Amino acid sequence: MTSSLAQFLASVDKKAYKMANIATLNSQDALDIVQDTMEKMVRKYSDKQPQEWPPIFYRILHNCIMDFHRKKKFRNLFFFWQQHSPEEDSDNDENDRFIGYEQSCPEQLLSKSENIETMLTAIESLPKKQQQCFLLRCWQGFSVAKTAEIMECSQGTIKTHYSRAVAKLKGQLESLDA
Amino acid sequence: MPNTIEIHAKKSLDNSLEQLDEKIEQKLARIRQQALNQPTDSMFSFDFFQGRKLVAAFSIVAVTVLLSSYLFDFNMPSSVPSLLVQNEMVEDPDLLNDMEFIYWLSQENEQVLL
């Protein structure tokens, strides 16, 4: 059971990190979220059937991401004098965004990276719930029902979030092309 | 049927994974290993319930021993005859007759003297 769980975690860790990184715009916060998610997964759900693991794992991840945003909002509300300036934040975000990429062959990756960066920036700018919904549906390939289960909301809400996310992405990319 | 945005997004996200820094991959591997090495809740619950079972069994034995010794003290065989003797003395008809006779005799004597 432990070896199959290890295989499962190895198969989802990069995607989980990327989802957390898109949601938090910070590499260290993303790693902390992945660590929390994996620890909860092993501690509480390792005895579940392997086919049940993916929705459980992404549900924990989603909850950890939402907790992160709640804590951040609370911190900003009550400790407003400790907030960083927008310039400082944007600098950190830029640095964090580039931490995750290899520096070895920039010539080959230049055009590819530009495309990836454009799309990732567009996804990052989505509202958090639309962003999570889009990543779970489009990237992880979960059905509407499973996504609703993971995000703990109705299927109608998921359909709304998803269609709005797609429309916003389309609008953003079209405005960039124009 | 996915539209072009969805296909483009999926491709970009997949490509971004291929370009992840080696340091991040190493950190993820370490996080994964740490998570797998920690104890699970089922291990805790097993120990917890084993402990509870032992305490429950010990409590039952202790209560049984205490109750049996308490009941044994009240049912001592030596105390039973003494109680029976007391009851026999009170309810013995010969003795009651004798006591009535003595009382009558003393009354008679008092009348003769007067």
Kindly report whether the global pTM for this prediction surpasses the value 0.80: no
Over range B66-92, report the average pLDDT: 63
Rounded CA-CA distance A47/A5 in Å is 10
Say if residues A93 and A22 touch (Cβ distance below 8 Å): no
Rounded CA-CA distance B87/B69 in Å is 27
Condensed to tens digits (0 to 9), the pLDDT of residues B61-74 reads 888 888 887 776 65
Task: State phi, psi for A127 to the nearest 5 degrees.
Answer: -55, 150
pLDDT tens string for chain A (178 positions)?
567 889 999 999 999 999 999 999 999 999 999 999 999 999 999 888 998 999 999 999 999 999 999 998 888 777 666 655 444 444 444 444 444 444 444 444 445 566 788 888 899 999 999 999 999 999 999 999 999 999 999 999 999 999 999 999 988 888 766 6
B8 to chain A, any CB pair closer than 8 A? The answer is yes
State the pLDDT at residue B92: 77
The ipTM value here is 0.75
Say if residues A38 and B31 touch (Cβ distance below 8 Å): yes
- Domains with residue ranges and CATH for chain A: 1-80 (1.10.1740), 105-178 (1.10.10.10)
State the pLDDT at residue B46: 53
B90 to chain A, any CB pair closer than 8 A? The answer is no
A162 to chain B, any CB pair closer than 8 A? The answer is no
CA distance B1 to chain A (A): 11
How wide is the angle at C-alpha A152 spanned by C-alphas A17 and A168, nearest 5°?
Answer: 65
